[in-house]
Amino acid sequence: RKEVEQDPGPFNVPEGATVAFNCTYSNSASQSFFWYRQDCRKEPKLLMSVYSSGNEDGRFTAQLNRASQYISLLIRDSKLSDSATYLCVVNNQAGTALIFGKGTTLSVSS
């Protein structure tokens, strides 16, 4: 099993749609979880951390299920500007480094 797995997509949705991305991770000892956003040919930027209780930031909601080792990101009311690749990230067992998924590509169209 890969350390962090994501559906690569692409997810093609119209403006205003709700879209959900899923991610699974293999290391049950991971303690830190994040979603990063990466625009084409740019650096990744932190979108949000993911907490055990789930957390929301505007149109974005992140959920963590430790028992299933599963992380999700929900985007409501999609905007054209949401088009990007979304990277699921967890820390390694030693807590010394982050492990990045390959990303899920989202394309929002008008």
Q: Which stretch binds other proteins (CB under 8 A): 18-26, 58-66, 73-81, 87-95?
A: 87-95
Q: What is the DSSP string of 33-86?
A: EEEEEE-TTS-EEEEEE--TT-EEETTEEEEEETTTTEEEEEE-S--GGG-EEE
Q: Which stretch binds other proteins (CB under 8 A): 15-23, 52-60, 70-78, 101-109?
A: 101-109
Q: Which CB sits closer to other proteins, 60 or 100?
A: 100
Q: What share of the chain is helix, strand, coil (3-state, %, to 5)?
A: 5, 55, 45
4-43: contacts with other proteins (CB under 8 A): 4, 8, 31-32, 34, 41-43
Distance, CA of 5 to CA of 24 (rounded, Å): 5
Nearest CA-CA partner of 103 in 2, 27, 9: 9
Q: Give the residue, chosen from 47, 50, 71, 87, that forms a contact with other proteins under the rule CB under 8 A.
A: 87
The label of the residue with tokens 């209780």 reads: 53
Q: Which CB sits closer to other proteins, 31 or 109?
A: 31
Q: Which CB sits closer to other proteins, 8 or 16?
A: 8
Residues near other proteins (CB under 8 A) are: 4, 8, 31-32, 34, 41-46, 49, 87, 91, 95-98, 100-103
